[in-house]
């Protein structure tokens, strides 16, 4: 199969992070993946990505600002003409390093905010961070960066969508992402604690859609669904290894943040092969391209070119088979698992499992 | 939708970057989370959006560049493109 053109590269520069958010998309066993790519290796990756056609580069993590070579990486990315976005928790940003990033050519900053309520925000982040983040948001604007505010929504903050929208407008964000928790990795560990009720989600969505129309042209508002409440699956990543790739701190090329969870796939590393070779030839990236791999009910479904069968990771996590129909789909024989999780959210509670080194070791069987 | 006054001096928003795309051999307008492939007319219009020229001056300049094209048609294309970009927050808005 001919490989399609990739548009987006998420470069996870590190798994180190001062925050401990319980919905983190990093793998639960991140503790075992510490050997990060060097500056030169990342620069090589950016050059090769640009040659392949990548336009958008997201410098992510963990917290990418822990990398001392971040200005050098930004400079190289800009030389490759990549649109360079820093995805950050903000707690390590200062006027000095932000200026340095700006002068190196950074295009855009995406800052996470946990809530408008200080206590909830810090309960979720797992550290004191509320004031610092607001201060940093203002600094980002003062230095002339376009700002996206990203808020991961869950049971504890989804009722604050009106306040979050007002905060985005007050801070002058050009984009506000109200992104419901996706239940993979740490999010899945915390599903019972985080999943909102259907009523909470319906209310939040209605408010977000109304605000989207009101702020059109000044602040773009994105509302990312909890797919558990949907009847049809999301077109996950716009299709497996179709337009998007994610490179882990250690150099493995994945079709998304979560794909590590699928057993039997062997992901190739930019330490050993060029990005172009991996993008075209990696057995893991080719595993679910196109639709030859599909089973029923996807195979004969007219929507298969629209939703690509949904999410492969979710199919594995909830149906035990990465090639099955995403159980979010109401045609999936495993749809009941999703309905049960949604029903349980109405009454169940669980303590938060924070994303940190200790829990990572514990959950992956090290003590 | 906001009407576009002829005296407006449009400029691309700081978040948007116009660049050449080597794969498609066309210009791309890149901004957070997305990119638009532009045709030659759109590129010609955007290159004149410098924050100094008014809409009227932009249309005049294009009419000189594309001799023989109806001025009304050019004006319509300018309005259509700028309206589309403005809806997506891709133009500076402080002058409105």
Question: Is B31's CB within 8 Å of A55's CB?
Answer: no
Question: Is A220's CB within 8 Å of B89's CB?
Answer: yes
Closest CA to A335 of A256, A254, A228: A228
In sequence order, what are the residues at sequence separation of 6 or more whose Cβ sits closer than 8 angstroms to the Cβ of residue B23?
A: A5, A53
The CA distances from residue A111 to A152, A218, A224, A350, A363, in Å, are 11, 18, 16, 28, 28
Structure token digits, residue A101 = 């990033």
Say which of B35, B89, B93 has its CB closest to residue A55: B35
Q: Which residues of A touch B88 (CB under 8 A)?
A: 217, 220
- What's the pLDDT tens digit per position in B34-83? 999 999 999 999 999 999 999 999 999 999 998 888 999 999 999 999 99
- What pLDDT shows up at residue B1? 42
Say which of A53, A148, A174 has its CB closest to residue B23: A53
Give the three-state DSSP class for A254: strand
pTM exceeds 0.90, yes or no: yes
Q: Provide, rounded to the nearest whole percent, the portion of chain A with pLDDT above 90.
A: 93
Closest residue in B to A108 (Cα) is: B15
Q: Looking only at Cα atoms, what is the longest distance across chain A?
A: 57
Q: Provide, rounded to the nearest whole percent, the portion of chain A with pLDDT above 70.
A: 99
Q: Looking only at Cα atoms, what is the longest distance across chain B?
A: 38
Within a 13 Å sphere around the CA of B18, how many CA atoms are in the beta-carbon half?
A: 20
The conformation of residue A271, written as its DSSP 8-state character, comes to T
* B35 shares contact with chain A (CB less than 8 Å): yes
Q: How many whole angstroms separate alpha carbon A160 and alpha carbon A307?
A: 30
Name the phi and psi angles at A7, rounded to 5: -110, -30
Q: Which residues of B touch A55 (CB under 8 A)?
A: 21, 28, 30, 35
CB A106 within 8 A of CB A145: yes
Closest CA to A157 of A131, A189, A195: A195
- What pLDDT shows up at residue A365? 81
Which helix (H) or strand (E) segment holds residue A111: the answer is strand A108-112
- What pLDDT shows up at residue A204? 97
- What pLDDT shows up at residue B33? 87
Give the three-state DSSP class for A308: coil
The conformation of residue A320, written as its DSSP 8-state character, comes to S
- What's the pLDDT tens digit per position in A231-274? 899 999 999 999 999 999 999 999 999 999 999 999 999 999 99
Structure token digits, residue A326 = 């995403």
Best A83, A109, A148 residue to mutate vs chain B (most B CBs within 10 Å)? A83
- What's the pLDDT tens digit per position in A88-127? 999 999 999 999 999 999 999 999 999 999 999 999 999 9
Question: Is B2's CB within 8 Å of A81's CB?
Answer: no
The CA distances from residue A112 to A86, A89, A91, A308, in Å, are 11, 5, 10, 29
CA–CA min distance B8, chain A (Å)? 16
Which residue's structure tokens are 């990465």?
A322
CB B6 within 8 A of CB B55: yes
CB A2 within 8 A of CB A31: no
Say which of A55, A145, A175 has its CB closest to residue B28: A55
- Lowest average pLDDT, out of A68-72, A106-110, A315-319, B91-95, goes to B91-95
- What's the pLDDT tens digit per position in A333-343? 999 999 998 89
Closest residue in A to B20 (Cα) is: A81
Question: Is A217's CB within 8 Å of B35's CB?
Answer: no
Number of residues assigned to chain A? 367
* B2 shares contact with chain A (CB less than 8 Å): yes
Closest residue in B to A82 (Cα) is: B30
Best A5, A81, A87, A217 residue to mutate vs chain B (most B CBs within 10 Å)? A217
CB A325 within 8 A of CB A341: no
- What pLDDT shows up at residue A184? 92
CB A176 within 8 A of CB A160: no
CB A289 within 8 A of CB A312: no
* B48 shares contact with chain A (CB less than 8 Å): no
Angle between helices A335-344 and A312-319 (to 10 degrees): 80
- What's the pLDDT tens digit per position in A165-197? 999 999 999 999 999 999 999 999 999 999 999
Q: Kindly tell me if the per-residue pLDDT of A76 is higher than 50.
A: yes
Q: Are strands A56-60 and A83-88 parallel, antiparallel or unpaired?
A: parallel
- What's the pLDDT tens digit per position in A131-169? 999 999 999 999 999 999 999 999 999 999 999 999 999
């Amino acid at each position: 199969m001919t490989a399609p053109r990739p548009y987006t590269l998420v470069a996870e520069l590190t798994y180190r992070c001062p925050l401990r958010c319980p919905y983190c998309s990093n793998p639960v066993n991140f503790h075992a993946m510490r050997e990060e790519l060097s500056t030169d290796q990342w620069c090589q990756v950016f050059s090769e990505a640009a040659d392949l056609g990548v336009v958008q580069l997201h410098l992510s993590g963990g917290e990418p600002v822990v990398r001392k070579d971040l200005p050098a990486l930004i400079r190289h990315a800009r030389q490759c003409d990549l649109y360079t976005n820093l995805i950050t928790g903000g707690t390590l940003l200062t006027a000095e390093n932000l200026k340095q990033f700006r002068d190196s050519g950074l295009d855009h900053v995406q800052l996470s905010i946990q809530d408008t309520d200080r206590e909830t925000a810090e309960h979720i982040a797992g550290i004191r961070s509320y004031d610092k983040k607001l201060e940093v948001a203002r600094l980002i604007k003062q230095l002339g960066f376009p700002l996206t505010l990203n808020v991961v929504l869950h049971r504890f903050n989804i009722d604050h969508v009106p306040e979050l929208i007002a905060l985005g407008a007050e801070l002058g964000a050009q984009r506000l992402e109200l992104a419901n928790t996706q239940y993979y990795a740490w999010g899945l560990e915390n599903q019972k604690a985080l999943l909102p009720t259907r009523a909470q989600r319906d209310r939040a969505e209605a408010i977000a859609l109304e605000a989207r129309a009101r702020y059109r042209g000044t602040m773009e508002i994105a509302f990312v669904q909890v797919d558990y409440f949907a009847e049809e699956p999301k077109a996950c990543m716009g299709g497996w290894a179709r337009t998007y790739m994610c490179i882990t701190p250690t150099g493995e090329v994945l079709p998304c943040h979560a794909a590590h969870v699928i057993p039997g796939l062997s992901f190739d590393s930019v330490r050993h092969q060029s990005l172009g070779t991996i993008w075209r030839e990696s057995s893991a990236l080719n595993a679910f391209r196109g639709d030859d791999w599909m089973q029923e009910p996807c195979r004969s479904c007219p929507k298969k070119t629209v939703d690509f069968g949904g999410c492969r990771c979710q199919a594995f996590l909830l149906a035990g088979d990465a090639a099955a129909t995403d159980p979010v789909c109401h045609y999936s024989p495993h749809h009941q698992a999703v309905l049960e999780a949604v029903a349980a959210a109405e009454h169940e509670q669980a303590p938060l499992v924070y994303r940190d080194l200790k829990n990572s070791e514990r959950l992956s069987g090290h003590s | 939708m906001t009407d576009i006054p002829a005296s407006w001096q449009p400029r691309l928003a700081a978040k948007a970057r116009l660049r050449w795309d080597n794969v498609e051999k066309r210009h791309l307008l890149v901004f957070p989370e997305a990119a638009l492939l532009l045709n030659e007319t759109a590129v010609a219009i955007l290159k004149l959006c410098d924050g100094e020229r008014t809409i009227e001056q932009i249309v005049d300049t294009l009419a000189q560049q594309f001799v023989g094209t109806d001025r009304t048609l050019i004006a319509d294309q300018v309005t259509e493109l700028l309206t589309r970009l403005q809806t997506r927050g891709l133009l500076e808005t402080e002058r409105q």
